[in-house]
Amino acid sequence: MALYSEKVMDHFQHPRNVGVIENADGVGEVGNAKCGDIMKIYLKIENDIIEDVKFETFGCGSAIASSSMATEMIKGKSIHEAMALTNKAVAEALDGLPAHKLHCSVLAEEAIKNALKDYYDRRGLPYDEKDFPEFDHEE
């Protein structure tokens, strides 16, 4: 069996939503100290809907594929739905990731949550700290 699914290869080779949003409403940047990969997510939000999302990922193929898939999964969705996106759902949508690459999808979930937290902070909106837990980078 190939190490990477066709979907992973497709999103790695043809990543969707790459780039920067000027005047984004929320920006989240996260990194994994172990592998050194960095992911940055930009959100444009209107009426609680993710109108646009872009990413810049300096990292491995799985991190690029995870960012691409995760941005596709939250585009046009509500903040509530974006908050509910898990790394497991991203990995499943990619038809799986090798065990030692699951942390790449964790980075995508974490970057989106950080961008949403940034949005709440900028708007001065209340939120529950529990919704933004520390992420485990050992996976």
C-alpha–C-alpha distance, residues 61 and 18, integer Å: 14
Candidates 12-20, 41-49, 101-109, 123-131 — which segment interacts with ligand FES by CB under 6 A?
A: 101-109
Considering the candidates 65, 104, 106, 108, report the single residue annotated as catalytic. Answer: 104
Query: How many positions of this chain bind ligand FES (CB under 6 A)?
Result: 11
104 as an active site residue: the answer is yes
Rule CB under 6 A: choose which of 63, 85, 94, 111 binds ligand FES. Answer: 63
Binding flag, residue 102, ligand FES (CB under 6 A): no
Q: What are the CA-CA distances from residue 61 to residues 52, 99, 103, 116, 120 (Å)? A: 23, 14, 12, 24, 30
Q: What DSSP line would sit under 10-53, residue for residue? A: HHHHS-SSBS--TT-SEEEEEE-TTT--EEEEEEEEETTEEEEE
60 as an active site residue: the answer is no
C-alpha–C-alpha distance, residues 92 and 9, integer Å: 14
Binding flag, residue 15, ligand FES (CB under 6 A): no
Binding pattern for the stretch 28-57 against ligand FES, x by CB under 6 A and - elsewhere: ----x--x-x--------------------
Chain residues that interact with ligand FES, rule: CB under 6 A? 32, 35, 37, 59-60, 62-63, 101, 103-104, 107
